[in-house]
Structure 1
């Protein structure tokens, strides 16, 4: 294992990875500051788009007369393309240069966003959103790889803390920002604003390129067969996840997609073992510490992202809050994501082990999800405020920190590949976790409907009712029964949703606990390596 080496910038001056004071003494902080601000602006756009685009869907549908499926792919096309190409971009960046690959991604995203803003129909918008996802994959993979190249030591920790903070802000503010734009100037300005922001990013790229010296995989070529196989495997997998709730998880189409993904991944693994310059160097995955760090965002996907996605629906369906009130309550969950990354960086700078903070973040996810079971139909928000803050801290303490630690482990010339794999697991696990939650909710509700719906004549098919309730719609099913029995049936629906929610919380707690133990086991196994293995991997960064 190699740690980050120091390289002088192309134009002379301070080392790319020196201490802040050292850089200031040599007169190069403006270059690093510009690089950081540029990467952070681009990174802010991507999660803002992911979390905020859904808000614009009703207006997009009304304006373009779009059907349900093509309208859903306005969001899905971006997510699928992002997941498919994140690893490929990371590998390409190690060959052609991270700044160049970052610029290509930002340029593609800007053009695609402009196309989205000008789209005349929903199919054109779907294509443009897929191209934006392709560019977003480059921004995330190459942006984090650039930071690992330019920063080192405590400065790197602070840079990645800001990376995590800005990504969290983007996720948190995306719906509000998009909602304000849709209401004020129309849905097209959601995408037009992305074009403007990334235009500013592109203006700064030439200056960044002059100041950044990048380690590259000398003599390597783009692994076209490996890239094509991996993209195909991820496309099959993510499409199966996206379509699972529509076609049915046990349907022939979804099962065929999953089987195809497994088969193509097996072929991909066999091909990569024989490539001189593979897209994914499988020896990187042999480093147990790196693999353990890559699993931390997976735990956050199950413990935090699921709550970020579905807790608002619980608050409006079971607790009876308005959408606005539910949004305000969600601040308790998102606030730690904005604060904790910088707090973690400061603690590391004062000598606290990075690994200790990562363990604390995993513990917060386990404890947070378990104590969120305090939620109930009439529970006071003060009772669940601490569990929500703890769950948010589980995400916030590791956001950014885990990226810096993971990229510090691998050789500098493979940082793009390593960042691509980490972000592939991050987004892929988010899609899987959210899909699993939705499937469990519908399944558990259907089970409870079958058990008790017979006591409410005229209620209809239990599976149909379960799907409507899972989507947060109580009014429609309740309207099917006699008016005199409506209050009792609504109470039954609320209790069923509440029961299903609590069951899912315990399942999520169990998943986070298993991942916690697995991550700890991988780290311990890495520490117990023999001297020969340690020498082969190289020195490890402290913490």
Structure 2
């Protein structure tokens, strides 16, 4: 059977399901990608203080070890998904795994912070191919056209949430053990080995692509990558150069101009990188907004809480990673529960709204942190945030991709993962910029602010250590309150976008009253 026939929805409606010999390996290799890539992300945050000490780096340059990865992944995610629809989702998935593995190997051997940042950007480009093509591979393999029941499809995408949650949960602990025992370079080597396994497993998956293969929208791809990358880069520059400085405003203006050009190009393109009709669907847009909310409420904590605990309380990377399990373990355990609740009739909109409210409450609760705080005292807020994220992590992909035709699953998956990747880059940068600004206002020194935010507090004299710990605590509390407010606003927005039609009846225009007929003159 040809690829066109494979992807023809009408033909698939009467075709036999894909061979089980292909379904199993496809599910396994995609889940491996969704396990190890989040593990590498969350695990790297625990290693930042050690990386900074070894490479003599701090502040924005050190944070780019994580930010650069997010920026590259989010910039290429949408394009990777659309290219998978055209040239083959397995092919793009495999290419992404190869780039990710090469970039992670280069990270392990980097001799300075600039080389490490560049290698992480390269890894992020590869991660875009893995993440965008992985979920679209499953969307097609387990589509209704192949005879897959809705409940099974929901469970499959819940497995993605479980794998991603497991990666987030195990990453800090695993990396903490590796960093304390063998060093941060050995940690990157381990993740490179996982990337090689993903690449090897790609050979056993089933290829799929869209029914037709028109010319690639090169102009759309170039303007989107350039526009998003420049815009995100400007956001990262703001914290270092100033928000109204030329190094910030120039790339911001160029990025916004390219994104405006991208919208104009997509309106005229026969096969656009992004079908803008998706963005006009309120129900579809609600799920990327929800995904943004889940990431926005946790990114800053994953990066800066380990540094805070190591700097103010003297815990090691291993113990800091173990404490983060309080937040990440629910992300491992709860996605199947969320899928089960939806399959049993609980409205998905109610679940995502509840999740965002829990994340807002957890961030507000976490503002009670203080130097020397115990893991037991952190359990309440971290578990609340983790439960909020875990409940909805496994339903977002199923809800969003279930609204589009299988032949556009790569585009929709790319858009959804672009939002996820952009969330990491933007929130890490904004959270870090706010934290650095607050610390600089208290210390009077940008260099001191960068050292403190990386967990590098002065040990002696004790008086200076206590002062720096108090400054770090006050600044982090304000940043957490801001995240709590943002999460509350996103909760209201998602609720509005997912309101059922009955709730919007009052907003529909009333029919015009017909004028009364003119009175006839008396005879």
CA contact (8 A) 1:288 1:526 kept: no
Give the structure 2 partner of residue 521 of structure 1. Answer: 496
Give the structure 1 partner of residue 424 of structure 2. Answer: 430
CA positional deviation for 1:59: 7.7
Give the structure 1 partner of residue 41 of structure 2. Answer: 50
Distance in 2, Cα, partners of 1:263 & 1:501: 34
CA positional deviation for 1:279: 0.5
Give the structure 2 partner of residue 140 of structure 1. Answer: 131
Give the structure 2 partner of residue 495 of structure 1. Answer: 470
CA contact (8 A) 2:87 2:209 kept: no
CA positional deviation for 1:396: 1.2
- Pick closer, same or farther for the CA change 1:442–1:192 going to 2, 3 Å: closer
- Pick closer, same or farther for the CA change 1:76–1:308 going to 2, 3 Å: closer
Give the structure 2 partner of residue 505 of structure 1. Answer: 480
1:90-134: per-residue Cα shift (whole Å, max 9, x none)? 111111222222122223333444555567887666555433322
Distance in 2, Cα, partners of 1:463 & 1:498: 17
CA contact (8 A) 2:46 2:303 kept: no
Picking from 452, 457, 474, the partner of 2:457 is 474
2:277 match: secondary structure: helix
Does 1:297 find its partner at 2:295? no
Distance in 2, Cα, partners of 1:56 & 1:325: 12
1:453-475: per-residue Cα shift (whole Å, max 9, x none)? xxxxxxxx455544443333331
- Pick closer, same or farther for the CA change 1:234–1:504 going to 2, 3 Å: same
Q: Tell which deviates more after alignment, 373-382 or 36-45.
A: 373-382
- The within-5 A match list for 1:133-282 is 133-151=124-142, 152=148, 153-181=150-178, 189-209=186-206, 214=208, 216=210, 218-282=212-276
Gaps of 5+ in 2: 1-7, 143-147, 509-523
Q: Tell which deviates more after alignment, 510-519 or 44-53.
A: 44-53
CA contact (8 A) 1:101 1:142 kept: yes
Distance in 2, Cα, partners of 1:79 & 1:502: 24
- Pick closer, same or farther for the CA change 1:108–1:498 going to 2, 3 Å: closer
1:8-35: per-residue Cα shift (whole Å, max 9, x none)? 59xx98425xxxxxxxxxxx54432221
CA positional deviation for 1:372: 2.0
Does 1:15 find its partner at 2:17? yes
- Pick closer, same or farther for the CA change 1:53–1:333 going to 2, 3 Å: closer
Give the structure 2 partner of residue 81 of structure 1. Answer: 72
CA positional deviation for 1:425: 0.9
CA positional deviation for 1:501: 2.5
- Pick closer, same or farther for the CA change 1:103–1:258 going to 2, 3 Å: same
Does 1:371 find its partner at 2:365? yes
CA contact (8 A) 1:287 1:526 kept: no
Distance in 2, Cα, partners of 1:467 & 1:120: 21
CA contact (8 A) 1:319 1:376 kept: no
Distance in 2, Cα, partners of 1:319 & 1:132: 33
CA contact (8 A) 2:49 2:454 kept: no
- The within-5 A match list for 1:386-397 is 386-397=380-391
Over aligned residues, Cα RMSD in angstroms? 3.4
Q: Tell which deviates more after alignment, 121-130 or 423-432.
A: 121-130
Q: Tell which deviates more after alignment, 75-84 or 313-322.
A: 313-322
Give the structure 1 partner of residue 513 of structure 2. Answer: none
Distance in 2, Cα, partners of 1:350 & 1:306: 34
Distance in 1, Cα, partners of 2:55 & 2:315: 32
Give the structure 1 partner of residue 439 of structure 2. Answer: 445
1:388-437: per-residue Cα shift (whole Å, max 9, x none)? 11111111112131111111111211111111111111111121112111
Does 1:335 find its partner at 2:329? yes
Does 1:385 find its partner at 2:379? yes
Does 1:283 find its partner at 2:277? yes
- Pick closer, same or farther for the CA change 1:390–1:182 going to 2, 3 Å: closer
Give the structure 2 partner of residue 108 of structure 1. Answer: 99
Distance in 1, Cα, partners of 2:288 & 2:15: 34
- The within-5 A match list for 1:304-319 is 304-318=298-312
Q: Tell which deviates more after alignment, 189-198 or 44-53.
A: 189-198
CA contact (8 A) 1:289 1:526 kept: no
